[in-house]
Structure 1
Amino acid sequence: MKSHYQILIIGAGTAGIMTAAQLMRKDSSLDIGIIDPSDKHYYQPAFTLVGAGAYTKEKTIRYTADLIPKGVTWIRDCVTAIQAKERTLMTQLTGELSYDYLVVCPGLVNDLSMIEGLQEAVNKGVVCSNYIDPEQTWKQLQAFKGGTAIFTQPNTPIKCGGAPQKIMYLACDYFRKKGIDKQTEVYFPMPGSVIFGVQEIAATLTEVVDRYGIHFMPSHNPIRIDAEHKKAYFKVSNNQENPCFITSGSDGIRQLEDCVVEMSFDFLHLAPPQTAPQFVKESDLVNAGGWLDVDLNSLQHKSYTYIFGLGDVAGLPTAKTGAAVRKQVPVVVDNLYRLIRGGEASNKGYLGYSSCPLVTGYGKMVLAEFNYKNEFTPDPKLKQMLVFSSDKEHWRLWLLKKYFLPYLYWNKMMKGDQV
C-alpha cells in the first residue's frame, strides 16, 4: 500500500463516507484514502428505537467495504498519532502516511472511567445504555416490574444530546402499555439547567414530562454508581441561580454532604461520558476542551489551513448529530476543492445547523432543528409531509424517523447526494 495520498480522511463514519463520496462526485480523479479499522458501519440514530423494541439492530448495520466510494482506498487501520506540521500521521499496522490535505472525523469515544463505578455497573448489567448496547436496554426494560427508573447523562458533550430523553419517553410509554406506570417513579437528573436549549421545543417537552409524571432534576451531574447496592450519586450545582437543594418525590433520595445526592434505583439508563479519541486529544489540533479546533463556519483548522474537521470530534457549539454532518460535509468538500485549485477556504456556509428527532412515545415525535443561536429552523420540506408545526408531537414525524430517514441515509447520504 502506498504511503502518500492527496487527501486522507480519518474515520469511515457518517462524516468520512459522505465527505469521500461528495469529493469523488466533484472530481473522480482525486487521490483519496480513508482510514478506519471497523468492518461494520452503524446507523446509530436508530439505536433509540432498538432500545425500545421498535427496531432491530440488524437493520442498523452495513459492511464498511460496501460503503467506501468507488476509487477511494480503504486503509483498514487505526490512527495512533497525527504530526500536523509534517503532514503525516502514524497508524498501528501500516506505519507512517503522508498527505496534502487531511480531514479529521473519527467521531468520539465513550469513557466510562469518568464516572466512578460505571464500568462495573455496565459489566454486571445493573446499568444499561443505548450508546453501548441498545439490545441490552430493551432486555432490561422488558424485565422491569416497577419501582424507580432513572435516566441521566454526563456533563461532557455527547452524541445526540437529546437521546437520553428519547429512550426515557419511550420507556414511560412502554410502562403505560405494560400497566406498571402507576407503580413506577421516573427521574431525569441531568447536568444542564433546561430540558432543551430551543425555546419552542422545550415548551413541548415540558408538556411531555408533565404528561408522564417525570421528575425533572436539572443541575445534577452523575459522579458515581454503586452497582452492588443499586445507588447513583449526583453532584448538584451550587450557585446563586441554582442553589444546592434536596429533590423531593421519593424516599430513595438522600442529601449527603458537599451537595451530593444519593438516589436508589431499580432501573438506570445512562449516556456515558464521551471524549475525542486519544490520538486527537494528544495532538496539537485540539482546543482547551479537547475537541478539534476548527473555524465555526468554514470547518478549516484554525492553525493548519490544510486540515479540516467535522462531525462529533469537532469543537462546535452545536449538537453532535448526523443531521449536523449533513450540512457540514458540503462546506468541507467545497473548501477542500477550492484549496486544491489554488484558492482559499472561503466558504463560511455552515451556520451551526443540527437536528434532533425527539421521539416522545411510540408513534409520536418532535423534530428539533436549530443553529448556533439556538433558533428554531424547521425545514420547509416538512410541509410536503403535511407537518406544519414540527415543534409539536406528530405521528408523521415518527414515520420520518423510523422509515424515511434510514432510507435517506443509506441510499442518498452515503452515496454522495446532497440532501
Structure 2
Amino acid sequence: MAQSLSHTVVIIGGGAAGIATAASMLKRQRGLDIAIVEPSDVHAYQPGWTMVGAGIFEPEVTRRPMASVMPKAATWIRASAASFQPEDNQVTLDDGSTVAYELLIVAPGIRLAWEKIAGLEETLGRNGVTSNYRYDLAPYTWELVQQVKSGRAIFTQPPMPIKCAGAPQKSMYLSCDHWMRLGVLDSIDVEFRNAGGVLFGVQDYVPALMEYVERYDIALKLGSNLIAVDGEGGQATFQTEAGQETCDFEMLHVVPPQVAPQFLADSPLAAESGFTDVDPHTLQHTRYPNVFGLGDAGSMPNAKTAAAARKQAPVVAVNALRALDQKGPIAGYDGYGSCPLTVERGKIVLAEFGYGGKLMPSFPSWLIDGTKAQRLSWILKADALPWIYWNGMLKGREWLAGPGNMIAQ
C-alpha cells in the first residue's frame, strides 16, 4: 500500500550534487530533517571512467556502496521520483507513495539517451563500439585501445548539453598517446566527429588542444553528428551539413545524446529545455521559491561537471536554509566548471571557467597554467581530485568551494 511520507527537506538524487548538498546543509544545521530519494545502491565517481578507459584506474575504485556515502543523519528513500506536485509541496514516487516537503532540491542528473542513435544499443560493448560514459563499458574502451593496430578509430561528440564536454576528447587523446607509444599511430586514422562547430567551447584552451590534434594527426570533422551504427558491419553514419555520410571503423567511441530525465521534463518544474528552471546565480526555482535545482539537471548555462556541482552545493545549502527561514538568497553561483583535459598520459590541460567563458583558475599561473598541458594538473586529476570527492565534497567539506559570491540584497 502506498505510503504518505513527510520531511522538512527532500532531495531528489543521490549523485554528486544531491549528496554534497545534503552534507553541506547538515554541516550548517545539525538535526535538520532531510530525505534523499535515490533508487541506486551504488554511487559512482564518474570522472574516473576516462582513466578506466585508458587503463590507468581499475573500474572498482570509481564506485562505492550508496550506503557508505549517504550522510548518516539523512533518511534514504530507496525509490525513484515519478512526478512533482509543487502546488501541493509533494513528490510522487514510482511505487505510488507521496513525500511531502517544506523545501525541495532537485538533482536527479541527466539521462543518457542511447536510443536516439539507431542501432547503437544492440552493439554497445562489442563489435568495436564502446563508451566511457558507462561504468561497464569503460574497460572495453581500454581493451579496444590495446587491440587496435590499424584502420579507423572514430570518437564522437553529440550536440550540447552533455556532461563533461571535454570527455569525448579525453578518451581520444589518451588512446592516441598509447598508440604513439606502441608505434602504431601512423597506421590508425583517428577522427574526432563533433556535432558542434568548435573543438572546445572556451577559446583560450583551444591552442593547447590543437597542438595535440596536430601531434596525433587527428582529422577534425566538425558539424558531424552520429545518427546510426551498424556494429556487425563496422559502419557508422553521420549527419553533416552536406548530407549523410557512412564510414567504416575498427573502433567507435560514442558519447550519447543527453536529455533531462522524463519525469522532470514532464513536470511543472521544467524549463523549455526540460531541465529544472532555476535562477542561474541563486539556483532558486523561478516560480516556486521553496524549490532549488543544481547539478546536471539544472537549467543553468554552465558546463555540466562534477566540479560545477561541487561549487553549486554550498550555494544551494546557504540559500535553501534561508528559504526555510522565509528569507531571500544571499549566495551566488558564478558558473564555475572544470574540465581536466587528459591530452597525454601524465599531462593535462586544466580548463576552469565560468559563465560567458570567463577563465576562473583555482591556482596561480606560476603553479598551474590551465591553458598549457602540465604534469601538475595530471597529479591533481589522478590523485587529488578523487580523494577530495570522496572525503571532501560528499562529506560537506567545502575545500576550494565556499558558498560563492554573496549577492546584493
TM-score normalised per structure 2? 0.94
1:90–1:96: 8 Å Cα contact kept in structure 2?
yes
The 3-state SS of whatever aligns with 1:318 is coil
Which of 56, 59, 79 is equivalent to 1:57?
59
The 3-state SS of whatever aligns with 2:327 is coil
CA apart distance, 1:313: 0.6
Aligned letter for 2:173?
Y
Matches within 5 A, 1:204-243: 204-237=208-241
Q: Which runs of 4+ in 1 moved over 2 A?
A: 123-126, 380-383
Are residues 1:134 and 2:138 paired? yes
Aligned letter for 1:380?
F
Measure the CA separation in 1 of the matches of 2:50 and 2:345. 11
The 3-state SS of whatever aligns with 2:88 is coil
Measure the CA separation in 2 of the matches of 1:151 and 1:109. 20
Which residue of the partner structure matches residue 85 of structure 2? 83
CA apart distance, 1:114: 0.8
Measure the CA separation in 2 of the matches of 1:222 and 1:317. 24
Which of 347, 353, 366 is equivalent to 1:364?
347
Which residue of the partner structure matches residue 34 of structure 1? 36
Measure the CA separation in 1 of the matches of 2:96 and 2:267. 19
Aligned letter for 1:409?
Y
Structure 1 unaligned blocks of 5 or more: 238-243, 245-258
> What value does the CA root-mean-square deviation take over the aligned residues?
1.4
Which of 332, 347, 362 is equivalent to 1:379?
362
Measure the CA separation in 2 of the matches of 1:339 and 1:308. 10
Which of 307, 311, 314 is equivalent to 2:295?
311
Structure 2 unaligned blocks of 5 or more: 400-409
The 3-state SS of whatever aligns with 1:158 is coil
Q: Percent identity of the aligned residues?
A: 42
CA apart distance, 1:93: 3.5
Are residues 1:101 and 2:85 paired? no
1:335-374 Cα offsets, whole Å, 9 max, x none, are 1111112211243x11111010000011110100001110
Which of 147, 168, 181 is equivalent to 1:164?
168
Aligned letter for 2:156?
T
2:318–2:330: 8 Å Cα contact kept in structure 1?
no
1:158-203 Cα offsets, whole Å, 9 max, x none, are 1101001000000000111222111101000101111112122011
1:106–1:313: 8 Å Cα contact kept in structure 2?
yes
CA apart distance, 1:102: 0.4
Aligned letter for 1:408?
I
Which residue of the partner structure matches residue 315 of structure 2? 331
Measure the CA separation in 1 of the matches of 2:343 and 2:216. 10
Which residue of the partner structure matches residue 271 of structure 2? 287
Which residue of the partner structure matches residue 351 of structure 1? 334
The 3-state SS of whatever aligns with 1:287 is coil
Measure the CA separation in 1 of the matches of 2:370 and 2:126. 40
